[in-house]
Amino acid sequence: MDDRKRLVLKAIVDHYIKTGQPLSSQTLLKEYGLDVSSATIRNDMKALEREGLITKEYSSAGRVPTEKGFRFFVDWLVELSELTRPEEHALMESYRLQRQPLEELLKQTALLLAGLSGYAGFVLSPRLEETRLESITWVKLDEESALVVILSELGIVEHRILPTSLSQEELEEIGRWLSERLRGRTLSEVREEAQRYVTEAGEGWHDPRTQSAFQLLRSALERRLERRLYTEGLFNLLQKLLEEEVGLAEVRDIVRLLSESARFGEYLESQIEDSKLQVRIGSENSLRELRPCSLVLMGYGYSGVLGVLGPVRMDYSKACSITQYIGNRLEAILTLSRRAPMEAPEVNPS
Amino acid sequence: MDDRKRLVLKAIVDHYIKTGQPLSSQTLLKEYGLDVSSATIRNDMKALEREGLITKEYSSAGRVPTEKGFRFFVDWLVELSELTRPEEHALMESYRLQRQPLEELLKQTALLLAGLSGYAGFVLSPRLEETRLESITWVKLDEESALVVILSELGIVEHRILPTSLSQEELEEIGRWLSERLRGRTLSEVREEAQRYVTEAGEGWHDPRTQSAFQLLRSALERRLERRLYTEGLFNLLQKLLEEEVGLAEVRDIVRLLSESARFGEYLESQIEDSKLQVRIGSENSLRELRPCSLVLMGYGYSGVLGVLGPVRMDYSKACSITQYIGNRLEAILTLSRRAPMEAPEVNPS
DNA sequence: TATTAGCAGTCCTCCAAGGAGAGTGCTAAC
DNA sequence: GTTAGCACTCTCCTTGGAGGACTGCTAATA
């Protein structure tokens, strides 16, 4: 493709992203100041249309990019921008508190993605079952219940009140014993071990109460190891879709999809190969509801996914750079907070 | 107002709630089988219109209720329904787990409100600063940080990781000391005390490290005592508003309002007197964004608020009964989990 | 006084037709 | 390969009229 045609395409995409309007050959000349006549532009447009990169709504309308046009734009023509000072500042501010519970950190990140991009932001939690246990701590709260706090290399991954009649001392002993024995193992291994302790009788303190404590521990892990999806900035997205004149029915379906975290989460997971930045434009998304939308996404530690969701007519430059920055930042925070890996001790001496 | 006129009004409201369509005098006769002629109905309608209870879109259209008509309906004509078996079941199921962290409980409740009503559900957290402290527990996580868990009569109200260099023993001592001394005081009193410990030097273990621990405790309380708003079922609401042919711009404003928890929360708070069930119809709401909506709400323990948000054309019978049931249920759970009140010990012997 | 039948009148919705305007495609010349 | 000029296409908006649904009013009736 020759240079002028690329320029024409870029002009059409830029103009469409900015205004949402088709661009006519006349206007293109006026606003982008090429040194040829409008007829020449029209010929170029015709060629671009033949290649499927642009289209028009009816025979005598100006041109708008097709999804294929956006794809070409994203792949070859888009320039990533630097973060502005206020953006940089918001980012710093937001991550000031280190070592928050993972849940808070991810929610914060989703908020940040939404706030900076002006679209909806989302964060899918990492596969916790692949992270390694640091400690399990029990705290007696009152006669019948105790709090269990499970810490992995990514921070607090579960805190939960469980009914138990064991004493603080007994719980401490269990906690110490478990932590020492299981530290460095992945959480899914820990869950299996907990399961084993439940079914396996024999050792001294394996009385029914202890067994039930393990049972509860196991089910606590069960629940929390489900991946969770944090979405923020729904309002931003609606605002943009409103400008697109997307129908309320489609908007509703998008909102529904975002509230069905399981379905959307699985989709996100399936879209990530390594943790490179990716863009899915309109109907490149296999989920029907996402057809009016584009997705900018990126992987981070342990199969986590984050990104922004906006209309197809999205400021890809901004969306990509912000996702990139925040993704790298989150990765860094999680890596920093990660302890030096320890030797996983043998659980079953053989 | 005579009986037939009430019947006519009820028919118009029922029909409008069910179909969203105006009701003509003909159709009213056919569907509700009154033993008079359509002209008589028309006369009644005229009277009702004079009283501002019904209106028509144009001179020859059927009648629809005005907001005042809905108000009359809600105040005098609506019949609360019982919960169905599946509804009852969902309610049981959802509250099975006792003594979850407060946050989980309230989120769960919002979900339940949304799920059962088919509208959006919301729960505004209680004024935690008015609840009484049960215990403060510190758990050392690693060299530089510890988890603090603050328990009030409503359950866990804060759990947070704070940086500290104190040892587990020191933290335990502080926790025990604080819990014993402050148990039974309200959280806002506790916060003030923490503040006092920060500024007040002198006593033996008031070394800088301990002071900073108090400082952190204070700020932890600060943050969490803000009231939080849980909203669920946004999709439900959109679905209904779609059927109403509400414009996307209005929908967007509603979504924005729901995401600005501070503003919406304050409004909810202002709408509650004692904890009776209340209904706010359309422009009875002073928030402009809520004009296309009706609010069914109810107070619960310590100035908490919960309810559902739907279109003005809402199934008030269902919405009211569900809000009533769930509100009572949440109240009961919170009261049950509350411990026998204790004497608040003197903090400053004078 | 309350109710009724009958009819005129109002206002909606739907559809078709036509003019103005924007922008392209094509042709022929450079 | 580029350009000027012109015919053509399609949208958008307005206008006008037919058909239909209901009401409001009037005058008669119990």
- A interface with B, Cβ–Cβ < 8 A, is 98-101, 134-135, 137, 139, 141-142, 145, 147, 149, 151, 155-156, 159-161, 163, 234-235, 238-239, 241-242, 248-249, 251-252, 255-256, 259, 339
Chain region(s) in chain A for CATH 3.30.450.40: 85-127+227-337
pTM of the shown model? 0.88
Question: CB less than 7 Å from strand D: which protein residues?
Answer: A 4, 35-37, 39-40, 43, 57-61; B 24-27, 38-39, 42, 45-46, 49, 56, 59-63
Q: In chain A, which residues have their Cβ closer than 8 Å to the Cβ of B99?
A: 145, 161, 163
pLDDT for B337 beyond 70: no
pLDDT in tens, A228-273: 999 999 999 999 998 888 888 899 999 999 999 999 999 999 999 8
Chain region(s) in chain B for CATH 1.10.10.10: 3-77
- Report the pLDDT value the prediction gives residue A136, as an integer from 0 to 100: 86
Architecture in CATH for domain A85-127+227-337:
2-Layer Sandwich (3.30)
pLDDT for B132 beyond 80: yes
Torsion of CA A266, A271, A273, A279, to 10 degrees: -150
pLDDT for A346 beyond 80: no
Of A139, A235, A252, the CB nearest to B242: A252
CA distances from A37 to A3, A41, A162 (A): 16, 7, 76
- In this complex, the answer to whether residue A25 has its CB under 7 A from any atom of chain C, a nucleic strand, is yes
Local structure of B270: helix, strand or coil: helix
Tell how far CA B339 is from the center of its chain: 24
pLDDT in tens, A282-298: 999 999 999 999 999 99
CB atoms within 10 A of CB A286: 11
Domain at B130-224: CATH code = 3.30.390.60
Architecture in CATH for domain B85-127+228-337:
2-Layer Sandwich (3.30)
What is the DSSP secondary-structure string of A46-81? Answer: HHHHHTTSEEESSTTS-EEE-HHHHHHIIIII--PP
Q: What length does chain A have?
A: 350
Chain region(s) in chain B for CATH 3.30.390.60: 130-224
Angle between helices A3-19 and A38-50 (to 10 degrees): 90
* CATH C-level class of A131-224: alpha beta
pLDDT in tens, B81-127: 889 999 989 888 888 765 678 888 999 999 999 999 999 999 999 99
What residue ranges in A105-144 does DSSP mark as E strands? 120-124, 133-140
Instruction: Find, in chain B, the residue whose alpha carbon is nearest to that of A172.
Output: B139
If pLDDT is split at 50, 70 and 90, which confidence band does A342 have?
A: very low
Chain region(s) in chain A for CATH 3.30.390.60: 131-224
* Span A32-48, average pLDDT: 94
- Report the pLDDT value the prediction gives residue B207, as an integer from 0 to 100: 67
Residue A300 phi, psi dihedral angles, 5° rounding: -145, 175
- B interface with A, Cβ–Cβ < 8 A, is 98-101, 134-135, 137, 139, 141-142, 145, 147, 149, 151, 155-156, 159-161, 163, 234-235, 238-239, 241-242, 248-249, 251-252, 255-256, 259, 339
CB atoms within 10 A of CB B112: 26
Chain region(s) in chain B for CATH 3.30.450.40: 85-127+228-337
Pick the CATH number of A3-77 from 3.10.110.10, 1.10.10.10, 1.10.10.410, 1.20.960.40: 1.10.10.10
Of B139, B251, B259, the CB nearest to A149: B139
Query: B99 and A156: CB-CB below 8 Å?
Result: no
What residue ranges in B112-174 does DSSP mark as E strands? 120-124, 133-142, 145-152, 155-163
Distance CA A217, CA A149 (A): 10
pLDDT in tens, A74-115: 999 999 988 999 999 988 888 876 567 888 899 999 999 999
